[in-house]
Amino acid sequence: MEIERKFLIETKMDIAHLEYDDIIQGYVCLEPEIRVRKKGGKYYRTDKSDGEMVREETETEIPLSVYNNLMENREGGILTKRRYYMPYGKYTIEIDEYKGGLKGLVTAEVEFSTVEEANAFIPPNFLGTEVTFDKRYKNKNLASSGKIPDLQD
């Protein structure tokens, strides 16, 4: 079970000192969501249920050959991003700085153990607009559209 909230980071932050992973991911299927990802030197297949803040998630490490085959047969584009890990109290805020056509988009996700904990979380000031419930900011939709959503729409 994955319980997380997602936010935009709308102000410039100095995050270069944080630990990070470079991520490349694509979607084998958008409905149901099946994602393949290269993160560091490892490759993963992730199945996710539909939902917003709470979703079922199963992640399995796969060999490079399977990753390459699945990426060749993906739906939509490829997301590339750098994920920074920022300690914040008992949480780790994962900050995604997107590359390519999504350059300029920076989001942050915080994972929780329970829905109650997620609802009680008071985000720090540097986290901007919450987009947890805005489907346009789901990674599968960002990969499909290849463009940054306009908050005014």
Place of tokens 């904990």: 117
* CA–CA gap between residue 81 and residue 115 (Å, rounded): 27
Token digits for 113?
């153990």
Residue 144: both structure tokens together: 């499909």
Cα 106 to Cα 124: distance, rounded to the nearest angstrom: 16
Burial level of 15, CB count in 10 A (0-12/13-18/19+)? middle
Q: Which of 27, 43, 67, 84 is catalytic?
A: 27
Structure tokens at 7: 């936010």
Is residue 88 annotated as a catalytic residue, yes or no?
no
Cis peptide before 63 (omega within 30 of 0): no
CB-facing half-sphere around the CA of 149: CA atoms within 13 A: 18
Active-site residue set: 27
